[in-house]
Amino acid sequence: MTSCRTERVMTMSNSPLVKYTRLSPNHSGKRTHAIDTITIHCVVGHCSLETLGNIFAPTSRQASCNYGIDDNGNVGMYCEEGNRSWCSSSNANDQRAVTIEVASDTTAPYKVTDKALAGIIELCTDICKRNGIKRLLWKSDKSLIGQVDKQNMTVHRWFANKSCPGDYLYGKHGYIADEVNKRLAPAAETPSQPTPSTTFKVGDIVNFKGGNVYTSASAATAATTKGASKCKVTVVANGKHPYHCISQDGKGVYGWVDASAVESTVTATPTFKPYTVRVTATELNIRKGPGTNYGTNGSIKDKGVYTIVEESNGWGKLKSGAGWISLSYTTKL
Protein backbone atom coordinates (compact mmCIF):
# COMPACT_ATOMS: atom_id res chain seq x y z
CA MET A 1 0.00 0.00 0.00
CA THR A 2 1.42 3.38 -0.99
CA SER A 3 1.16 6.22 1.51
CA CYS A 4 -0.09 9.66 0.52
CA ARG A 5 3.32 11.12 1.32
CA THR A 6 5.06 8.65 -0.99
CA GLU A 7 2.66 9.54 -3.82
CA ARG A 8 3.48 13.19 -3.31
CA VAL A 9 7.20 12.48 -3.38
CA MET A 10 6.90 10.48 -6.61
CA THR A 11 5.14 13.34 -8.42
CA MET A 12 7.57 16.10 -7.48
CA SER A 13 8.50 18.33 -10.39
CA ASN A 14 11.73 20.09 -11.31
CA SER A 15 12.16 23.83 -11.71
CA PRO A 16 11.34 25.32 -15.12
CA LEU A 17 14.12 27.85 -14.47
CA VAL A 18 16.82 25.22 -15.16
CA LYS A 19 19.09 26.16 -18.10
CA TYR A 20 21.67 23.38 -17.75
CA THR A 21 21.36 19.79 -16.52
CA ARG A 22 24.00 17.23 -15.65
CA LEU A 23 22.65 14.68 -13.21
CA SER A 24 25.08 13.39 -10.62
CA PRO A 25 25.14 9.70 -9.58
CA ASN A 26 25.60 10.88 -6.00
CA HIS A 27 22.17 10.74 -4.39
CA SER A 28 19.95 8.44 -2.32
CA GLY A 29 17.10 8.02 -4.76
CA LYS A 30 13.55 9.09 -4.00
CA ARG A 31 13.00 11.25 -0.93
CA THR A 32 11.35 9.79 2.14
CA HIS A 33 9.95 13.17 3.21
CA ALA A 34 7.91 15.81 1.44
CA ILE A 35 9.80 18.99 0.53
CA ASP A 36 9.19 21.66 3.16
CA THR A 37 12.67 23.21 3.61
CA ILE A 38 15.30 25.05 1.55
CA THR A 39 19.06 24.92 2.26
CA ILE A 40 21.33 27.45 0.53
CA HIS A 41 25.08 26.71 0.26
CA CYS A 42 28.08 28.63 -1.06
CA VAL A 43 30.31 26.91 -3.63
CA VAL A 44 33.52 28.71 -2.55
CA GLY A 45 34.38 29.52 -6.14
CA HIS A 46 32.93 31.46 -9.05
CA CYS A 47 31.98 28.28 -10.87
CA SER A 48 29.97 28.05 -14.07
CA LEU A 49 27.00 25.69 -14.28
CA GLU A 50 29.14 23.32 -16.35
CA THR A 51 31.96 23.35 -13.79
CA LEU A 52 29.51 22.50 -11.02
CA GLY A 53 28.32 19.57 -13.11
CA ASN A 54 31.91 18.38 -13.45
CA ILE A 55 32.46 18.69 -9.70
CA PHE A 56 29.49 16.48 -8.82
CA ALA A 57 29.92 13.96 -11.67
CA PRO A 58 32.51 11.53 -10.16
CA THR A 59 31.18 8.94 -7.73
CA SER A 60 34.34 9.50 -5.70
CA ARG A 61 33.10 13.01 -4.93
CA GLN A 62 30.30 11.64 -2.74
CA ALA A 63 28.46 14.97 -2.95
CA SER A 64 25.74 16.65 -4.98
CA CYS A 65 23.02 19.29 -4.79
CA ASN A 66 19.61 19.68 -6.36
CA TYR A 67 20.35 23.01 -8.00
CA GLY A 68 23.27 25.35 -8.62
CA ILE A 69 23.34 29.07 -9.41
CA ASP A 70 26.17 30.80 -11.29
CA ASP A 71 27.37 34.42 -11.07
CA ASN A 72 24.75 35.51 -13.61
CA GLY A 73 21.85 33.97 -11.70
CA ASN A 74 21.42 31.06 -14.11
CA VAL A 75 20.14 27.76 -12.67
CA GLY A 76 21.62 24.30 -13.19
CA MET A 77 20.24 20.95 -11.98
CA TYR A 78 22.47 18.15 -10.68
CA CYS A 79 20.02 16.04 -8.70
CA GLU A 80 16.33 15.89 -9.54
CA GLU A 81 14.14 17.61 -6.98
CA GLY A 82 12.37 14.35 -6.16
CA ASN A 83 15.67 12.77 -5.11
CA ARG A 84 17.63 13.29 -1.91
CA SER A 85 20.93 15.00 -2.69
CA TRP A 86 24.12 14.60 -0.64
CA CYS A 87 24.71 18.18 0.36
CA SER A 88 24.14 19.14 3.99
CA SER A 89 25.92 16.44 6.04
CA SER A 90 22.47 15.47 7.33
CA ASN A 91 20.26 12.73 5.93
CA ALA A 92 17.21 14.11 7.76
CA ASN A 93 17.74 17.59 6.36
CA ASP A 94 18.49 16.50 2.79
CA GLN A 95 15.42 14.23 2.71
CA ARG A 96 13.15 17.25 3.21
CA ALA A 97 15.22 20.14 1.82
CA VAL A 98 15.87 21.36 -1.69
CA THR A 99 19.60 22.11 -1.69
CA ILE A 100 21.09 24.99 -3.68
CA GLU A 101 24.80 25.67 -4.29
CA VAL A 102 25.64 29.27 -5.23
CA ALA A 103 28.83 30.51 -6.90
CA SER A 104 30.76 32.70 -4.46
CA ASP A 105 34.07 34.28 -3.56
CA THR A 106 36.77 31.88 -2.39
CA THR A 107 37.45 33.80 0.83
CA ALA A 108 35.27 34.86 3.75
CA PRO A 109 32.59 36.16 3.91
CA TYR A 110 32.09 34.22 0.59
CA LYS A 111 30.10 36.98 -1.07
CA VAL A 112 27.93 36.23 -4.12
CA THR A 113 27.07 38.56 -6.99
CA ASP A 114 23.88 40.60 -7.02
CA LYS A 115 22.69 38.56 -10.02
CA ALA A 116 23.31 35.33 -8.12
CA LEU A 117 21.35 36.70 -5.15
CA ALA A 118 18.47 37.60 -7.47
CA GLY A 119 18.68 34.06 -8.89
CA ILE A 120 18.37 32.59 -5.40
CA ILE A 121 15.22 34.60 -4.75
CA GLU A 122 13.66 33.57 -8.06
CA LEU A 123 14.50 29.89 -7.60
CA CYS A 124 13.31 29.80 -3.97
CA THR A 125 10.03 31.42 -5.03
CA ASP A 126 9.55 28.75 -7.71
CA ILE A 127 10.38 25.92 -5.26
CA CYS A 128 7.87 27.25 -2.73
CA LYS A 129 5.09 27.64 -5.30
CA ARG A 130 5.49 24.13 -6.72
CA ASN A 131 5.77 22.45 -3.31
CA GLY A 132 2.96 24.26 -1.51
CA ILE A 133 5.26 26.22 0.82
CA LYS A 134 3.15 29.27 1.64
CA ARG A 135 5.89 31.34 3.27
CA LEU A 136 9.66 31.12 3.62
CA LEU A 137 10.62 31.50 7.28
CA TRP A 138 13.99 32.39 8.80
CA LYS A 139 14.78 32.95 12.48
CA SER A 140 18.53 32.25 12.51
CA ASP A 141 17.79 29.65 15.21
CA LYS A 142 19.36 26.18 15.07
CA SER A 143 16.98 24.90 17.75
CA LEU A 144 14.09 25.26 15.28
CA ILE A 145 15.41 22.66 12.81
CA GLY A 146 12.44 20.61 11.61
CA GLN A 147 9.85 23.02 13.05
CA VAL A 148 8.89 24.24 9.61
CA ASP A 149 5.91 26.23 10.85
CA LYS A 150 8.46 28.49 12.54
CA GLN A 151 11.55 28.17 10.32
CA ASN A 152 11.91 26.33 7.01
CA MET A 153 15.37 27.47 5.96
CA THR A 154 18.46 25.64 7.22
CA VAL A 155 22.22 26.05 6.75
CA HIS A 156 25.07 23.55 6.38
CA ARG A 157 26.98 24.95 9.37
CA TRP A 158 24.24 23.63 11.65
CA PHE A 159 25.03 20.04 10.67
CA ALA A 160 28.83 20.06 10.24
CA ASN A 161 31.91 21.99 11.30
CA LYS A 162 31.75 24.31 8.30
CA SER A 163 31.22 28.02 7.68
CA CYS A 164 28.81 27.30 4.78
CA PRO A 165 26.97 29.26 3.44
CA GLY A 166 29.44 31.93 4.58
CA ASP A 167 28.59 34.99 6.61
CA TYR A 168 27.46 36.98 3.55
CA LEU A 169 24.67 34.60 2.54
CA TYR A 170 23.88 33.76 6.17
CA GLY A 171 23.23 37.44 6.78
CA LYS A 172 21.07 37.61 3.65
CA HIS A 173 18.66 34.83 4.66
CA GLY A 174 16.17 37.23 6.23
CA TYR A 175 16.25 39.41 3.12
CA ILE A 176 15.84 36.38 0.84
CA ALA A 177 12.82 35.18 2.86
CA ASP A 178 11.23 38.64 2.77
CA GLU A 179 11.68 38.97 -0.98
CA VAL A 180 10.36 35.47 -1.68
CA ASN A 181 7.30 36.09 0.49
CA LYS A 182 6.48 39.25 -1.45
CA ARG A 183 6.35 37.15 -4.60
CA LEU A 184 4.33 34.36 -2.98
CA ALA A 185 1.53 36.58 -1.70
CA PRO A 186 -0.89 37.94 -4.34
CA ALA A 187 -0.91 41.72 -4.36
CA ALA A 188 -4.47 41.84 -3.04
CA GLU A 189 -3.57 39.57 -0.13
CA THR A 190 -0.24 41.11 0.84
CA PRO A 191 -0.61 42.18 4.47
CA SER A 192 -0.06 45.90 4.84
CA GLN A 193 2.12 47.46 7.49
CA PRO A 194 0.07 48.93 10.34
CA THR A 195 0.00 52.69 10.35
CA PRO A 196 2.87 53.57 12.68
CA SER A 197 1.23 56.68 14.06
CA THR A 198 -1.67 54.60 15.42
CA THR A 199 0.43 51.66 16.62
CA PHE A 200 3.54 53.07 18.23
CA LYS A 201 4.60 56.61 18.83
CA VAL A 202 7.97 58.17 19.40
CA GLY A 203 9.12 57.51 22.94
CA ASP A 204 7.16 54.28 23.50
CA ILE A 205 8.99 51.27 24.95
CA VAL A 206 8.40 48.11 22.89
CA ASN A 207 9.36 44.48 23.33
CA PHE A 208 11.78 43.52 20.55
CA LYS A 209 11.17 39.85 19.64
CA GLY A 210 14.33 39.46 17.58
CA GLY A 211 14.78 39.60 13.83
CA ASN A 212 16.26 41.78 11.12
CA VAL A 213 17.58 45.22 11.97
CA TYR A 214 18.06 47.35 8.85
CA THR A 215 20.43 50.26 8.26
CA SER A 216 17.65 52.55 7.03
CA ALA A 217 13.89 52.64 6.48
CA SER A 218 14.31 51.46 2.89
CA ALA A 219 17.49 49.33 3.18
CA ALA A 220 17.64 45.86 1.66
CA THR A 221 20.50 44.68 3.90
CA ALA A 222 20.20 43.81 7.55
CA ALA A 223 21.90 42.26 10.54
CA THR A 224 19.99 39.57 12.41
CA THR A 225 19.66 40.24 16.14
CA LYS A 226 18.79 37.39 18.51
CA GLY A 227 16.83 37.54 21.71
CA ALA A 228 14.21 39.84 23.12
CA SER A 229 15.16 43.36 24.11
CA LYS A 230 13.35 46.38 25.44
CA CYS A 231 13.58 49.07 22.79
CA LYS A 232 12.56 52.67 22.59
CA VAL A 233 10.91 53.91 19.40
CA THR A 234 12.91 56.98 18.36
CA VAL A 235 11.59 57.54 14.82
CA VAL A 236 8.33 56.48 13.18
CA ALA A 237 8.03 56.53 9.38
CA ASN A 238 5.87 55.04 6.67
CA GLY A 239 8.82 53.35 4.99
CA LYS A 240 9.50 49.74 4.08
CA HIS A 241 10.83 49.20 7.62
CA PRO A 242 8.75 51.66 9.66
CA TYR A 243 10.12 51.61 13.19
CA HIS A 244 13.47 52.96 14.34
CA CYS A 245 14.41 51.36 17.65
CA ILE A 246 17.21 51.80 20.14
CA SER A 247 18.02 49.26 22.84
CA GLN A 248 17.09 50.03 26.42
CA ASP A 249 18.88 47.04 27.98
CA GLY A 250 22.28 47.03 26.29
CA LYS A 251 21.58 44.25 23.74
CA GLY A 252 22.65 46.33 20.78
CA VAL A 253 19.36 46.72 18.92
CA TYR A 254 19.71 49.95 16.98
CA GLY A 255 18.18 50.58 13.56
CA TRP A 256 15.06 50.14 11.46
CA VAL A 257 12.79 47.14 12.08
CA ASP A 258 9.55 45.72 10.71
CA ALA A 259 6.28 45.63 12.62
CA SER A 260 6.70 41.86 12.99
CA ALA A 261 9.86 42.41 15.05
CA VAL A 262 8.10 44.16 17.91
CA GLU A 263 5.32 43.16 20.27
CA SER A 264 1.88 44.58 19.58
CA THR A 265 1.60 45.76 23.15
CA VAL A 266 3.58 48.80 24.22
CA THR A 267 4.27 50.68 27.38
CA ALA A 268 4.05 54.41 27.07
CA THR A 269 7.09 56.23 28.30
CA PRO A 270 6.38 57.87 31.67
CA THR A 271 6.38 61.65 31.66
CA PHE A 272 10.00 62.68 32.05
CA LYS A 273 10.81 65.18 34.76
CA PRO A 274 13.84 67.32 33.89
CA TYR A 275 16.61 67.49 36.47
CA THR A 276 20.00 69.11 36.89
CA VAL A 277 23.45 67.55 36.98
CA ARG A 278 26.92 68.83 37.67
CA VAL A 279 29.62 67.74 35.21
CA THR A 280 32.55 66.05 36.99
CA ALA A 281 34.88 65.55 34.01
CA THR A 282 37.49 68.10 33.03
CA GLU A 283 36.23 67.90 29.46
CA LEU A 284 33.05 66.10 28.40
CA ASN A 285 32.05 65.62 24.77
CA ILE A 286 28.57 66.64 23.65
CA ARG A 287 27.27 64.04 21.19
CA LYS A 288 24.62 64.47 18.50
CA GLY A 289 22.84 61.40 19.83
CA PRO A 290 22.82 59.10 22.89
CA GLY A 291 26.02 57.12 22.26
CA THR A 292 29.67 57.29 21.27
CA ASN A 293 28.69 56.19 17.76
CA TYR A 294 27.31 59.69 17.20
CA GLY A 295 29.50 62.59 16.14
CA THR A 296 30.55 65.29 18.57
CA ASN A 297 28.85 68.66 18.79
CA GLY A 298 31.30 70.47 21.02
CA SER A 299 32.31 69.82 24.61
CA ILE A 300 31.80 70.99 28.20
CA LYS A 301 34.92 72.20 30.03
CA ASP A 302 33.56 74.22 32.96
CA LYS A 303 32.26 71.46 35.27
CA GLY A 304 29.04 73.46 35.38
CA VAL A 305 25.43 72.62 36.14
CA TYR A 306 23.16 71.56 33.26
CA THR A 307 19.53 70.54 32.87
CA ILE A 308 18.72 67.09 31.46
CA VAL A 309 15.39 66.81 29.61
CA GLU A 310 15.63 63.23 28.34
CA GLU A 311 17.54 60.01 29.11
CA SER A 312 18.61 57.07 26.96
CA ASN A 313 20.97 54.23 27.92
CA GLY A 314 22.98 56.29 30.39
CA TRP A 315 22.99 59.44 28.26
CA GLY A 316 21.22 62.71 28.98
CA LYS A 317 19.89 65.28 26.52
CA LEU A 318 20.79 68.88 27.32
CA LYS A 319 17.96 71.40 27.68
CA SER A 320 19.89 73.81 25.47
CA GLY A 321 19.48 71.45 22.52
CA ALA A 322 23.24 71.23 22.03
CA GLY A 323 23.12 67.43 22.22
CA TRP A 324 23.72 64.51 24.61
CA ILE A 325 26.27 63.88 27.36
CA SER A 326 27.28 60.72 29.17
CA LEU A 327 25.70 60.76 32.64
CA SER A 328 28.59 58.64 33.93
CA TYR A 329 30.59 61.84 34.20
CA THR A 330 27.97 63.82 36.10
CA THR A 331 26.44 64.06 39.56
CA LYS A 332 22.69 64.43 39.88
CA LEU A 333 21.67 67.42 42.01
CATH assignment at residue 129:
3.40.80.10
- Tens digits of residue pLDDT in 290-332: 888 788 889 999 989 999 988 877 888 999 889 999 988 999 8
Are 155 and 49 in a shared domain? yes
Whether the pLDDT of residue 222 is over 80: the answer is: no
The boundaries of the domain holding residue 320 are 275-332
49 lies in the same domain as 171: yes
Same domain, 98 and 211: no
Let me know: does 45 contact 102? Beta carbons within 8 Å: no
pTM surpassing 0.75?
no
Does the pLDDT of residue 6 top 70, yes or no? no
Say yes or no: 241 and 312 in one domain: no
pLDDT of residue 237: 72
Identify whether residues 104 and 224 lie together within a single domain. no
Quick one: 208 and 293 in the same domain? no
pLDDT top residue among 258 and 53: 53
C-alpha dist (Å) from residue 224 to 66, 99, 138, 161, 254: 27, 22, 10, 21, 11
Out of 188, 221, 237, pick the residue that ends a domain: 188
Looking at the structure, tell me whether residues 146 and 236 fall in a common domain.
no
% of residues, the chain, pLDDT over 90: 58
Distances (CA, A) of 68 to 108, 198, 214: 20, 45, 29
Residues 180, 327 share a domain: no
More confident residue, 236 or 18: 18
Judged by average pLDDT, the poorest of 43-52, 83-92, 211-220, 291-300 is 211-220
119 and 208 in a common domain:
no
Average model confidence (pLDDT) across the chain: 86
The answer on 200 and 184 residing in a single domain is no
Count of domains in the chain? 3
Say what the pLDDT of residue 116 is: 96
Does position 44 have pLDDT exceeding 90, yes or no?
yes
Q: Which residues pair with 284 in a beta bridge?
A: 300
Final residue of a structural domain among 267, 290, 324: 267
Judgement on whether residues 210 and 69 belong to the same structural domain of the protein: no
159 and 61 share one domain: yes
Last residue of a domain, one of 218, 235, 267: 267
Question: Who wins on pLDDT, 253 or 43?
Answer: 43
Task: Give the pLDDT of residue 197.
Answer: 45
DSSP string, 94-111: HHHEEEEEE-B-SSTT--
Query: pLDDT tens digits for 63-90?
Result: 999 999 999 999 999 999 999 999 999 9
